[in-house]
Amino acid sequence: MNNFSILFRKEWRENVRNFKILWIPLVFILFGISEPLTYYYLPQILNAVGNVPSDMVFQLPEYTPDQIIMSTIGQYQFIGMLIVAFGFAGIIARERKNGTATMLYVRPISYTGYVFSKLAIMGILIIGSACIGLLANVYYTNVLYGAVDAVAFIGFLGTYSIWLLFAICVVICSSAAFSTGIASVVSILLLVVVQLVDSLLGTYWTISPWKLPMYAGQILNGNLDKTPFFWSLTVTVVVVVLLVVLAVYLAKRNVSKAKI
């Protein structure tokens, strides 16, 4: 771990200089505030756009604050996951492929420190951006739809962050294992496709990392099913630890694949 801070500084400089530190939070905030706005003003927008027969009345359901927040999570679960998978699939694989990593790998670096530097920068960028975005989201929801319980929101935010940590570890581990292209496909499969499958067929089981966002929503609306939530959380944390260990092992093993 002794090289963590040196390597983290490199990651930080990269993501400041390629503007990821700006655009990722901006995108998450944008979705965070446009979601409640769009729902709230949708009837007026439709009316303003016109072409609607005057006798036709839009019967939009009345939304509760937690439904608006969960609808934002729906956006994050798709667009956010695409950003995580495509924006970071090369986090280890790319520097191995283009040969820049060779000059790190010949030095006495700790691969644990190496993987953790990647984990830390992704955590800051992804979890940080999602949290800022959801805070903006809860502010707008509060103004337009009414109050959200603060304690429930913190529980929701924490749970969703654990899911994001899982997503980050999936991407880092695939990047340690495969080339950038394969890593992005594997990440999309595991984060978007499996998520879809889990939501379609998932009534048959209750314990899964992919269900954490759903349980986060339950925390928010106060109908949490405690036992499956607890087990899903435990399973996710265990999988996260395993993925990190695996990523360290694979990063080290694939040193020989670095372009020399």
Residues in touch with other proteins (CB under 8 A) = 3, 6-7, 9-10, 13-14, 17-20, 22-23, 26-27, 29-30, 33-34, 37, 44, 47-48, 79, 82-83, 86-87, 90, 94-95, 98-100, 102-109, 136, 140, 143-144, 255-256, 258-260
- Shortest Å distance, C-beta 174 to other proteins: 16
- Shortest Å distance, C-beta 39 to other proteins: 13
Residue among 183 and 240 whose Cβ is closer to other proteins: 183
Residue among 108 and 222 whose Cβ is closer to other proteins: 108
- Shortest Å distance, C-beta 50 to other proteins: 11
Alpha-carbon distance of 29 to 88, in angstroms, equals 19
Alpha-carbon distance of 89 to 183, in angstroms, equals 5
- Shortest Å distance, C-beta 157 to other proteins: 20
Calculate Rg over the CA atoms of the chain: 21
Residue among 73 and 258 whose Cβ is closer to other proteins: 258
179-217 b/e with 16+ CB inside 10 Å = b? bbeebbebbbebbbeebeebeeeeeeeeebbbbbbbbbb
- Shortest Å distance, C-beta 25 to other proteins: 10
Residue among 13 and 226 whose Cβ is closer to other proteins: 13
Residue among 185 and 207 whose Cβ is closer to other proteins: 185
DSSP 8-state assignment for residue 191: I
Cα–Cα distances (Å) from 67 to 34, 209, 214, in that order, read 14, 21, 12
Query: Helical H runs in the chain?
Result: 4-17, 20-49, 65-75, 81-88, 93-97, 102-105, 111-122, 128-145, 150-177, 180-188, 194-201, 212-221, 226-253
- Residue position matching structure tokens 């499956």: 228
**What tokens does 228 get?**
């499956």
- Shortest Å distance, C-beta 47 to other proteins: 8
**What tokens does 195 get?**
């998520």
- Shortest Å distance, C-beta 29 to other proteins: 6
Residue among 178 and 229 whose Cβ is closer to other proteins: 178
Please state the φ and ψ torsions of residue 63, each to the nearest 5 degrees.
-95, 150
Residue among 107 and 201 whose Cβ is closer to other proteins: 107
